[in-house]
Structure 1
Amino acid sequence: MKKIVLIIIITASGIFNAQVALGKTVLESTSSSIEFGSENRGLVLPWVTNSSGIQNPVNGTLVFDTSDMKVKVYQNNLWKDLSVDTTGTADTSLQDGLADQPDAKVSVGTPSSVSGILVLEDNNKAMILPKVASPHLNIISPAAGMMVYDTQKKQLAVFNGTVWSFWGE
């Protein structure tokens, strides 16, 4: 029930305001479609059984690929690995055997035909990741595919199920 209410709120917010804040009450930027709070939690990316099986991905797509336990971004029409360590682990038993629902989508902004679970449609707004100081120390039980902005190192941090990888300049 909570998920349904959240989806309705996100959808309604996208229709009326095109900006959404989760876990916070004040938006930091008018240039954001969605912002997250910073309570030592991160954004868990969608898990896919193999990124090569995604049909018609668009540049900027982010996933956690369970075939090789890596966080990946689709960039310049190729999948790029964001997980430095290749020994990731994840218990996929909760999703094994489940069928994808191709029509399941929440859109923030002007709806388009782009597929995805949560699609930020605006072409002039960005997503602000959850901000966590030293996530490798402060997030107690990170999930495989988690992503945050490390405010201490000032870097993107992704978790592959075993270790954190940090991306900076």
Structure 2
Amino acid sequence: MSSSATTTISEDYLCAIFAERVLVDKGFAVWLLSQTKFAAVAKSVDLLAEEQAKRPAKAWWRHWWCSVKDTGRQSETDILLVFKDGERRVALHIENKFSAPLVQYQADDYAPRARQMMKNKWVSYDDFETIIIAPKSYLLGNIAECKKFDRMISYERIGQHIPEYETVVRRNVK
């Protein structure tokens, strides 16, 4: 990474390296899944990145938008990861928050969107979990909204696997 790249690490960059790490590092994928209700199958699943990549988008994992019938709103998932274990498919819908506040209904819309997307035409799945990833201080400072997700995972814990997340914490979280 160049010196100019090290001075600014964007939320999009953090999403990209997170998704890429899941793709190339089975150990990280297992760790991530072991933090969820899918822990029992963490070691036996395969990421369906190639199937997800059939959707016309900049990146296979990035910004899955849809109009949610149950809410009447449009919303998006920052990182969508779909895994297959035999015939069963499970998805992680991940919101990444570095410092920007959650916008109105953002946390509320994750589960309805994930439920609606279960049968989407690009990569369907049978079950899901919603996750917010953020610095620990962000999670604690926004606990009521963050608890609307199924799971909270701190940058500090992710930083044990992806150094850039620890760098963000060291530089920006007081």
Q: Calculate the TM-score normalised by the size of structure 1.
A: 0.26
Highest relative contact order (Cα 8 Å, sep 6+), 1 or 2? 1
Name the structure with the higher helix share. Answer: 2
Q: Calculate the TM-score normalised by the size of structure 2.
A: 0.26
Name the structure with the higher strand share. Answer: 1
